[in-house]
């Protein structure tokens, strides 16, 4: 309820905007205790804790948007842009070594597929088991030279490679190898282009956790290419889903937790009443954008005042699964999975 719904194009602009304001962004250490101003939220009760990750200074804080238990943000002491590289894998695994009951991950480092703040290097974590962590391996493989690392594709709407080992340094090396291979990978038949006109498109959303005595790294393949037909992004929620979710699909959503715009709370209340009372949704300005969606499923239920809210929640969940499938570079079809394995074979 406290997080504004952002337009992906505004997020991209903010990543490169030249600013002299104090603090430079919502993550900088100067936010601690900051009174705020009309366009910058107050942080008087905000506190940060110094942590060392791979001998670099980072700060640990609890998030002002508590999406799940102990939702935390770990941000670089320096105001430096997001970048996914080998050093990130080292830091993520160092974090879970120090805090084995937490998961931690990084948003991708490119607009459209990245998080809402690309201008400051940071991770997110917490004491929570996401749905993706429970998802099993679907297809196992070995990479030559890394036979000691358990590797496979995860059964998940998005395109996820999971690595497991008791030796974090081995996961780091293989993660870096996969990242570099993916950054340079093009498969025109699958509409995956590493770059167009010098602009890079391939990157990774990495997530680290402990699984018993095993270190575990999930590498979610991302691509931010756009076309005239899909200016929001080819691997971005389709426009017909924007009435529920139009923002970038970031780290938390990737792992299976829907972060939805606050407007939906009021809209779904109004929509539920309108459905029960048999009103014409298309004549109601606040909720007319939901009319086509409601038409798809309203006849599947015997809708009453008592069950309408649960039905709306269930149907929103189905939309969110479609949102994740849109963001997956390899679709959950035979053709899509064959293309995924084609990339794996290049490793």
**314-319-320 Cα angle (round to 5):** 95
Contacts of 186 (CB under 8 A, 6+ apart): 192, 193, 194
d(CA 96, CA 22): 32
d(CA 184, CA 177): 11
d(CA 215, CA 222): 22
What pLDDT digit, counting tens, does each position of 302-340 carry?
A: 999 999 999 999 999 999 999 999 999 999 999 999 999
pTM: 0.90
Q: Quick one: which of 227, 210, 228, 208 has its CA closest to 218? A: 208
**Length reported for the chain:** 347
What pLDDT digit, counting tens, does each position of 222-259 carry?
A: 999 999 999 989 999 999 999 999 888 899 999 999 98
Task: Take residue 164 and report the two structure tokens written for it.
Answer: 């497991």
Residue 299: exposed, middle, or buried by beta-carbon count in 10 A (0-12, 13-18, 19+)? exposed
Q: pLDDT category, 94, cuts 50, 70, 90?
A: very high
């Amino acid at each position: 309820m406290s997080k504004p719904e952002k337009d992906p194009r505004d997020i991209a602009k903010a990543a490169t905007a030249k600013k002299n304001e104090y603090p430079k962004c919502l993550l900088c250490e100067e936010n601690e205790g900051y009174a705020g101003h009309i366009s910058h939220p107050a942080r008087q009760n905000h506190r940060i804790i110094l942590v060392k990750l791979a001998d670099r200074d980072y700060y640990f804080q609890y998030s002002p948007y508590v999406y799940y238990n102990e939702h935390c943000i770990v941000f670089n002491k320096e105001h430096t842009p997001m970048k996914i590289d080998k050093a990130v894998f080292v830091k993520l695994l160092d974090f879970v070594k120090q805090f084995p009951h937490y998961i931690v991950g990084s948003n991708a480092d490119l607009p459209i597929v990245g998080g809402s703040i690309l201008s400051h290097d940071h991770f997110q974590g917490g004491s929570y088991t996401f749905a993706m962590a429970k998802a099993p391996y679907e297809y196992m493989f070995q990479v030559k030279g890394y036979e000691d690392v358990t590797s496979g594709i995860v059964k998940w709407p998005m395109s996820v490679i999971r690595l497991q080992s008791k030796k974090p340094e081995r996961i780091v090396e293989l993660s870096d190898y996969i990242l570099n291979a993916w950054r340079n990978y093009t498969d025109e038949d699958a509409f995956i282009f590493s770059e167009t006109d010098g602009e890079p498109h391939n990157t990774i959303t990495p997530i680290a956790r402990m699984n018993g005595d095993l270190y575990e790294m999930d590498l979610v393949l991302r691509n931010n290419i756009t076309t005239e037909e899909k200016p929001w992004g080819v691997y971005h929620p389709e426009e017909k889903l924007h009435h529920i979710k139009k923002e970038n699909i970031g780290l938390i959503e990737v792992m299976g937790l829907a972060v939805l715009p606050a407007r939906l709370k009021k809209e779904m209340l109004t929509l539920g009443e309108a459905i029960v009372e048999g009103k014409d949704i298309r004549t109601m300005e606040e909720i007319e954008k939901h009319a086509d969606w409601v038409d798809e499923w309203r006849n599947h239920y015997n809708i009453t005042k008592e069950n309408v809210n649960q039905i709306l929640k269930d149907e929103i969940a189905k939309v969110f699964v479609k949102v994740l499938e849109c963001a997956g570079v390899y679709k959950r079809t035979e053709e899509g999975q064959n293309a995924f394995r084609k990339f794996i074979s290049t490793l």
